[in-house]
Amino acid sequence: MQTDQIICARDGAVGRITFNNPSRHNAMSYDMWVGGEAAIKQLLADGETRVIVLTGAGEKAFVAGADISKFAEERGTEDAIAEYNAAVASFQNTLGTAPLPTIAMIGGYAIGGGLAIALCCDIRIASDDSRFAIPAAKLGLGYAASGINTLMQIVGPSFAKEIFYTARQFDAEEARTMGLVNRIVPRADLQATVDDYTRRIGENAPLTIHAAKTAIGELVKPESDRDMRLCADLVLKCFGSEDYQEGRTAFMEKRKPQFKGR
């Protein structure tokens, strides 16, 4: 599904997805959830992308939740609600299980579903004027246990309770204290900081990064559900790769390695 409210582009090894609904603080509609998932899949399939950055258009927000103006149209019946929820879940699953590194570049509000998008990313870098909240308790809605678990894995049970119980907005420093974001930087430095991260990630060995991301994903599961054979196989793939040969050669020759992901 095509929508001009999702902008997908690639600059070298960096794929960029922009939520483009600034008049509504980039609040998400059904079309944006579907289009966003399509954009992620497009970047994963192109064979050139090594890291994906998600961000919001304008200066006010990353994503400020769902677009309430669309509720009557998109969530007016039981069937429509089910279809909408399925689109959200599919987007989050595609982002959360993406084999490439993902970065949420947060400038401004990351509220409700917007924060959930950021939590699906591997790394969250925020401007110092950003704000975060999950206002479910102010709306009387139930929040799926899977979403709560994603938050709890990042901030721990106590902070997860504080976020849900109070439903208040947290500033960037509070978010960093909780572990909700990896870094906060002045607004003027946000783009440069993210660009530095993507450069570093893009220059490193893709197979090593994929093996690490897979292992971390398995290790946060209950022990009985972990696929440790997969983790071991990916480590062996690294040692058998051309990139491993290139890395050692470059080190001996005191030059920057040129990794190819094979």
What pLDDT does 85 receive?
A: 87
- Cα–Cα distance for residue pair 144/147, rounded to 1 Å: 5
22: which residues sit within 8 A by CB, 6+ positions away? 56, 57, 58, 60, 61
Amino acid at 148: I
What pLDDT does 161 receive?
A: 97
The number of residues in the chain equals 262
CA 48 to chain centre: 19
- How far is the CA of 130 from the CAs of 115, 121, 157, 158, 249, in angstroms? 11, 17, 23, 22, 43
Strand partners, 124: 104
Instruction: State whether residue 234 is helix, strand or coil.
Output: helix
What pLDDT does 139 receive?
A: 82
Q: Are 102 and 52 in contact (CB under 8 A)?
A: yes
- Strands ordered across the beta sheet of 6-11: 6-11, 14-19, 51-56, 102-106, 123-127, 183-185
What pLDDT does 50 receive?
A: 96
Q: pLDDT tens per residue, the chain (262 residues)? A: 457 999 999 999 999 999 999 999 999 999 999 999 999 999 999 989 999 999 999 999 999 987 776 666 666 677 778 888 899 999 999 999 999 999 999 999 999 999 999 999 999 999 999 999 999 998 888 888 988 999 999 999 999 999 999 999 999 999 999 999 999 999 999 999 999 999 999 999 999 999 999 999 999 999 999 999 999 999 999 999 999 999 999 999 999 999 998 9
262: which residues sit within 8 A by CB, 6+ positions away? 207, 241, 242, 243
Q: Are 244 and 206 in contact (CB under 8 A)?
A: no
Residue (of 38, 58, 183, 37) closest to 122 by Cα position: 183
